[in-house]
Amino acid sequence: MVLLACTRSEGRGRLSELWIFVESAKRFLLEHRRAFHDFWLNASPKTRNVYQSVANLIGGTEDDVVRLEGLIPPFRTVSAEQLFIEHRRDSR
């Protein structure tokens, strides 16, 4: 435990700052929970299926990996130049 020497008014100021930090963290957590809830309610069945498959990989089986590979299309590899060209084309 660390004790800091400070005047009574400094101590109140620090407690006030800590209180503001804690309240901000609580609001952030609530906002994050609401956003996740909204995401889950609005997610397509395919998105939910992929999400659950990824979650099953933790301690999952080889069958879980095969199932996930069947749900997600392979990533297309492109160079930075190709990405730039596509970005310019899409922004027109």
Q: Are residues 50 and 38 in the same domain?
A: no
Domain range for residue 57?
44-92
Pull the structure tokens for residue 11. Answer: 């101590």
pLDDT digit string, tens, across residues 11-38? 567 778 888 888 889 999 999 999 989 9
Q: Are residues 36 and 19 in the same domain?
A: yes
| Residue 2 forms part of a structural domain | no
Alpha helices in 1-92 (DSSP H): 8-42, 45-56, 62-71, 80-90
Q: Are residues 48 and 27 in the same domain?
A: no
| Residue 1 forms part of a structural domain | no
Number of domains comprising the chain: 2
- Say what percent of the chain tops pLDDT 90: 13
pLDDT digit string, tens, across residues 48-65? 888 888 887 777 788 877
Q: Are residues 51 and 70 in the same domain?
A: yes
